[in-house]
Structure 1
Amino acid sequence: MENGSKMKALFIIINAGYANEVVSLLREAGAKGATILNSRGEGVQHEYFMGITVDSEKELIVCVVEETTAEKAMIMMKERKGVQPHVRSVCFTMPIDTVVGLNMPFLNPADDKE
């Protein structure tokens, strides 16, 4: 288990279509990678098109990084992207107490064929 440096889970919720741009910025800040999840916003009023409710499509980007990398990434996003009404994003961090890397070969589907 790794307890040496302060780790943060960096969460970025952004309108769909901007994730690749944000991940590029995260890598520039020092992140090794990120996970992108498709999601749907429920906090705003729904828009309607021809009587049909149109959901607010979002992307959730999750990245586990050192505290200094998280701070750098958040500053870079704010400076480069600023407040853009069409992007509608939020970024926050949560502390991580312990990180464990898992290698689970028993989950490899190729092993089932033998």
Structure 2
Amino acid sequence: MSQGLINGDYCDQDVYILTVVVDNGKGSKVLKICKQTGIGGGTVCLGEGTVGRSMLTWLDIPTVRREIVIMAATGTQAKAAEAALSETLKLNKPNHGILFKIALHELFGSRNCSQSEKVEGEDVMNGNTHQAVFVIVDRGNAEAVIEAAEQAGARGATIINARGAGMHETSKLFAMVVEPEKEIVLMIIDKPRTDSITTAIRSSIGLDQPGRGIMFVVDVAETIGLY
């Protein structure tokens, strides 16, 4: 079992990244609930939800705004937060939000918890049924990613706005370096469908060519509120 550092004291617990996707305006409520369970804080990102987007477009309704809350937590804190969020925000009901957690091997700089040893105790990944797929592309290309993924069996995604700073990412405007805007597409996928979905994305946007984007896949330890 790896050791975590909580408020200056070591504890024998695994450490996770806890991610909660909720409607716009609810991110602060998520943080407040999680602080009551011992989690020291988190980061809130703005994004867009895409489940049912074709129906929204047909009805001429604007894209649904989302807030993505990212927090570091020990196993005990994560379980307490999951229970509190599920009860308060009704995450087990459709369209009330999504929660998932990913086990970490290393974590530094968190007041809540620091970890520098590989997770070796409880095998949190045994029996997991979902994976998180992250695709980072130039702004405007997220739609192509989502279309390819949905044709291969994905059931929606969250788009997060970002900026790029890699070797292929900078340009100049009036002699000033400009970081192009990026979009991060986040999808939680049934594990058996991951290969077909990632293959479809790679083929659709030419992901194997330099500068076209980055995609990575991680195992998810637990999910709430997917469908």
Corresponding residue number in structure 2 for 1:42: 165
- Where 1:73 maps in the other structure, the secondary structure is helix
- 2:224 maps to 100
Structure 1 match to 2:132: 9
Q: Deviations over 1:18-39 (max 9, x none)?
A: 1111111111111110000111
Unmatched tracts of structure 1, length 5 or more: 103-114
TM-score (norm 1): 0.75
Q: How do residues 1-114 of structure 1 correspond to structure 2 at under 5 angstroms?
A: 6-44=129-167, 46-82=170-206, 83-85=208-210, 88-101=212-225
Query: Which of the pair is proportionally richer in helix?
Result: 1
Q: Give 1:79 shift.
A: 2.9
Helix, strand or coil: the match of 2:188? strand
Q: Which has the higher contact order (CA 8 A, sep 6+)?
A: 1
In the superposition, the TM-score normalised over structure 2's length comes to: 0.40
Residue identity opposite 1:81 in structure 2: I
Is there any run of 5+ residues in structure 2 with no aligned partner, and where?
1-91, 93-125
Given that 2:163 and 2:182 are in contact with CA atoms closer than 8 Å, whether structure 1 keeps it comes out as yes
CA contact 2:135–2:213 (8 Å) conserved in 1 = yes
- SS at 1:39 equivalent: strand
- Secondary structure of 1:8's counterpart equals strand
User: Where does structure 1 differ by over 4 angstroms across 4 or more consecutive aligned residues?
Assistant: none
- In structure 2, what residue type is equivalent to 1:14? V
Where 2:224 maps in the other structure, the secondary structure is coil
